[in-house]
Every structure is written in structure tokens, then in C-alpha cells.
């Protein structure tokens, strides 16, 4: 298993270490997931997400390659802007969701940690159709921390002269932070205010930056946050998780990602299949639902029912720490996808009532 440059810090903090995406990563710290979740919603928390993958795309055909590879319209990006997107196989199935950064004379793609090797192999195959193009996997060179919560910018501003509050959402700047050259990005997957910082350097550099952040955030009760709370935070906002809510068997429209799928931009992988699906009508849709009973957790792969008939299955589910009720995402037949639809989760040979709702939950 690989280790990020923050591994010893996680162990010293008492992090519960588990295998994740080829790394040993902290799923939680001693105070637990609920505590960590509330720290991010109410104050500021720090996630080590250095397991994520980063690919640099360089050369005169960089944009043309990204347009072919991804479903969003990267031609709309200007320098200093980031874009949420996805890449698809030719059959419309999702390879991964990702971020595209316009870094001036090159682009950076940020992919899910569990998919780095698969994604790079797929992107490399697509790149064969382009001359004057360089695709570089720099994942092992990059440290990535996500600092999230209402007090995130107050914490981070102490460590940089870059005016963080002036950076729009899904935008970024190159600048000095804690004395290191970084990409400082107003992005994150918690639904809270915050930044993600990308920087190079070994354990010594990473440790110093971590310590500087925690010193700056001490007055706000800053804490380290594990993968468990990262999952509950994203679920409350209805954000998809690859491997749960989206994968190679789902296409962007049924996954609720039509807003990033720009069919008018030109050719891209999977476009004919996605266009046909739109023209012929969807058969299922990813929806959010809330449980109508207390203390029931809708686990992944539990079946969803309506009128006694199976209509789909749960893809993600947990107890919402803020709402204190079970919430979930799942694919259901189109006639049961309207908010207000009464459905049930089938578990332990029992149907537990639930209601389809608009997301985000919070």
C-alpha cells in the first residue's frame, strides 16, 4: 500500500487507518465521524486527499484532446478557471468524474484516487489520436489538502497574500502559501466554503505546511477529518461518488449530470449513445430520498420498491448528521423519480418507507 506524505501525522493523531485507493488512509480520528462532520459544517477541517490523481496535458492539441475526452465544454474555460466534468466510454458509461483546470499554457485533470491507473490508461488511449500532445501522470508528485468549512478562508488567509475571498468558486490562483508555490483552488466536495491546495515536496515540506495550517486555524478549533466524514458531507449535498452512484454502467444524463454534458460542443466519447438516450427518453434516474422511519440506514445495494414492485436500488446511504435521519441516493424508474414520490427500501425482508426529495438534502 502507498502512503501520502501525511501518513505519520495521521497515525500520530490516532487516525483509524484503512486501505483506500491503493493507499493507507485515515477513515476517522478518535472523536469519530459525527464529530468530524460537524467540525466541517460549523468551523474548519482539513482533509488529506493526496491519493487523488493529477494529469498534466500539454501541447497545441491539449484543448482538442480534452474536448474529445470529456463531456463538458472545456473551450469555455479561461486561465484560472476549473470545471467539473466527466469522461465516458464509447458506450456512454462513465469512466470517471473529474476536474479540469486551465493553467495557462497547460491543463490539469484531477481524477479520483481509486481510478488513477484506469483513467490514465483510458486517457492515453484517447491521446493516440492527437499529435503534438503530452499527457503526464504527476499524481505521485502532488500533495493535496482540502481545507473546508465556514472558517476555512479565515484560517488560510493568514498564510498567503493571495486574496482568497476574491477568488470565485471553481477558480484558482498560483501563489505562495506557507512559503511554498501552490495552486490555491476555491473547490471542494463538502458543500462548504473552502480551498484545495496542490503543492510539490516531500514529507518535510508537507509536514511543515500541515503544521502551519493547524497553527493558523487553532483559534477556530481546526481538526483533521477522515474519509468517513468526507462521505457523509458529500452525501448531504447529493454529490455523486464514483463506484457508488456513477460507474461504467451509468451514463451522465440518468446520473443527473446533464448540466455538465454539452451535446452541442462537438464530438466526444460516448456522445452518440448519450444523444440517443436523450432522444428516446430515460428509463431510470438517480434521485435523493429520505427515510420516513428513525434510525434506519439505507445501505448500498438495498433494493428500492414502489407498489410492491422493485424499481431500483440504493447507491449511497447513511444517517445525515445534520438532519438526524436516513438519507440516500439511488436509481429508480422514471415514474417514481418525481419529488414527493412514496417509495420504500427493502431490507431484512421488510419495506421501510421513504420519500423522493430534491437534492441537496441540506
**pLDDT, tens only, 102-140:** 999 999 999 999 999 999 999 999 999 999 999 999 999
Single out the residue of 358, 238, 275 nearest to residue 88, CA to CA. Answer: 275
- Mean pLDDT confidence for 228-237: 98
Query: Regarding beta strands 142-148 and 45-48, do their DSSP bridges make them parallel or antiparallel, or are they unpaired?
Result: antiparallel
Phi-psi region of 266 (alpha: psi -120 to 50; beta: other; left: phi over 0): left
Confidence class for position 326, pLDDT limits 50, 70, 90: very high
Domain boundary among 202, 236, 270: 236
Cell readout for 220 is 477556530
Pseudo-torsion of CA 72, 239, 123, 194, nearest 10°? 90
- The pLDDT, as a whole number, for residue 131 is 96
Range list of β-strands (E), 149-283? 172-177, 180-185, 194-200, 223-225
Confidence class for position 25, pLDDT limits 50, 70, 90: very high
Q: Are residues 182 and 289 in the same domain?
A: no
Q: Are residues 149 and 40 in the same domain?
A: yes
pLDDT in tens, 250-285: 999 999 999 999 999 999 999 999 999 999 999 999
Cell readout for 137 is 501522470
- Mean pLDDT confidence for 20-40: 97
Cell readout for 114 is 481509486
Q: Are residues 12 and 146 in the same domain?
A: yes
Confidence class for position 291, pLDDT limits 50, 70, 90: very high
Q: Are residues 227 and 298 in the same domain?
A: no
Domain count across the chain: 2
Confidence class for position 57, pLDDT limits 50, 70, 90: very high
- Mean pLDDT confidence for 131-159: 98
Contacts of 189 (CB under 8 A, 6+ apart): 146, 230, 233, 234, 239
Q: Are residues 46 and 145 in the same domain?
A: yes
Residue 270 belongs to some domain of the structure: no
Residue 77 belongs to some domain of the structure: no
Q: Are residues 345 and 216 in the same domain?
A: no
Q: Are residues 42 and 154 in the same domain?
A: yes
Write the CATH number for 34: 3.30.1360.120
Confidence class for position 72, pLDDT limits 50, 70, 90: very high
Domain boundary among 180, 211, 236: 236
Q: Are residues 44 and 150 in the same domain?
A: yes
Residue 79 belongs to some domain of the structure: no
Contacts of 76 (CB under 8 A, 6+ apart): 83
- Mean pLDDT confidence for 166-181: 98
Pseudo-torsion of CA 145, 316, 109, 223, nearest 10°? 0
Residue 346 belongs to some domain of the structure: yes
Residue 331 belongs to some domain of the structure: yes
Average pLDDT, the chain: 97
Residue 277 belongs to some domain of the structure: no
pTM: 0.96
Exposure on the CB side of residue 181, measured as CA atoms within 13 A: 2
Q: Are residues 288 and 352 in the same domain?
A: yes
Residue 144 belongs to some domain of the structure: yes
Cell readout for 121 is 490508461
- Mean pLDDT confidence for 85-107: 98
Q: Are residues 314 and 216 in the same domain?
A: no
Confidence class for position 199, pLDDT limits 50, 70, 90: very high
Task: Tell me the residue range of the domain where 289 lies.
Answer: 283-357
- The pLDDT, as a whole number, for residue 324 is 95
Q: Are residues 189 and 290 in the same domain?
A: no
Task: Judge whether 273 and 92 are in contact, CB under 8 Å.
Answer: yes
Q: Are residues 306 and 186 in the same domain?
A: no
Exposure on the CB side of residue 35, measured as CA atoms within 13 A: 10
Per-residue exposure over 73-94, b if at least 16 CB sit within 10 Å of its own CB, e if not: bbeebeebbbbbbbbbeeebbb
Write the CATH number for 319: 2.40.30.110
Residue 102 belongs to some domain of the structure: no
Domain boundary among 176, 202, 236: 236
- The pLDDT, as a whole number, for residue 24 is 98
Confidence class for position 238, pLDDT limits 50, 70, 90: very high
Amino acid at each position: 500500500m502507498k502512503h501520502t506524505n501525511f501518513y505519520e501525522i495521521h497515525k500520530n493523531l490516532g487516525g483509524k487507518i484503512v486501505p483506500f485507493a491503493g493507499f493507507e488512509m485515515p477513515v476517522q480520528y478518535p472523536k469519530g465521524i459525527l464529530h468530524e462532520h460537524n467540525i466541517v459544517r460549523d468551523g474548519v477541517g482539513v482533509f488529506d486527499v493526496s491519493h487523488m490523481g493529477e494529469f498534466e496535458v500539454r501541447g497545441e492539441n491539449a484543448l482538442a484532446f480534452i474536448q474529445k475526452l470529456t463531456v463538458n465544454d472545456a473551450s469555455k474555460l479561461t486561465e484560472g478557471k476549473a470545471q467539473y466534468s466527466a469522461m465516458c466510454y464509447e458506450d456512454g458509461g462513465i469512466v470517471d468524474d473529474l476536474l479540469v483546470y486551465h493553467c495557462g499554457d497547460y491543463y490539469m485533470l484531477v481524477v479520483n484516487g481509486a481510478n488513477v491507473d484506469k483513467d490514465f490508461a483510458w486517457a492515453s488511449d484517447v491521446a493516440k489520436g492527437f499529435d503534438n500532445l503530452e499527457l503526464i501522470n504527476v499524481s505521485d508528485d502532488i500533495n493535496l489538502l482540502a481545507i473546508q468549512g465556514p472558517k476555512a478562508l479565515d484560517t488560510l488567509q493568514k498564510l498567503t497574500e493571495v486574496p482568497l475571498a476574491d477568488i470565485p468558486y471553481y477558480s484558482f490562483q498560483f501563489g505562495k502559501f506557507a512559503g511554498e508555490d501552490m495552486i490555491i483552488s476555491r473547490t471542494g466536495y463538502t458543500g462548504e466554503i473552502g480551498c484545495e491546495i496542490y503543492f510539490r515536496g516531500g514529507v518535510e515540506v508537507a509536514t511543515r505546511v500541515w503544521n502551519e495550517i493547524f497553527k493558523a486555524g487553532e483559534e477556530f478549533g481546526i481538526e483533521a477529518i477522515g474519509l468517513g466524514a468526507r462521505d457523509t458531507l458529500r452525501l448531504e449535498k447529493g454529490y455523486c461518488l464514483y463506484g457508488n452512484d456513477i460507474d461504467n454502467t451509468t451514463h451522465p444524463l440518468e446520473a443527473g449530470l446533464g448540466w455538465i454534458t454539452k451535446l452541442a460542443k462537438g464530438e466526444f466519447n460516448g456522445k452518440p449513445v448519450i444523444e440517443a438516450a436523450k432522444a428516446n427518453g430515460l428509463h431510470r434516474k438517480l434521485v435523493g430520498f429520505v427515510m420516513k422511519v428513525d434510525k434506519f440506514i439505507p445501505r448500498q445495494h438495498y433494493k428500492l420498491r414502489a407498489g410492491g414492485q422493485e424499481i431500483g436500488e440504493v447507491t449511497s446511504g447513511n444517517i445525515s448528521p445534520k438532519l438526524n435521519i436516513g438519507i440516500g441516493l439511488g436509481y429508480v424508474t422514471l415514474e417514481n423519480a418525481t419529488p414527493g414520490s412514496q417509495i420504500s427500501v427493502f431490507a431484512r425482508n421488510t419495506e421501510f418507507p421513504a420519500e423522493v426529495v430534491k437534492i441537496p438534502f441540506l
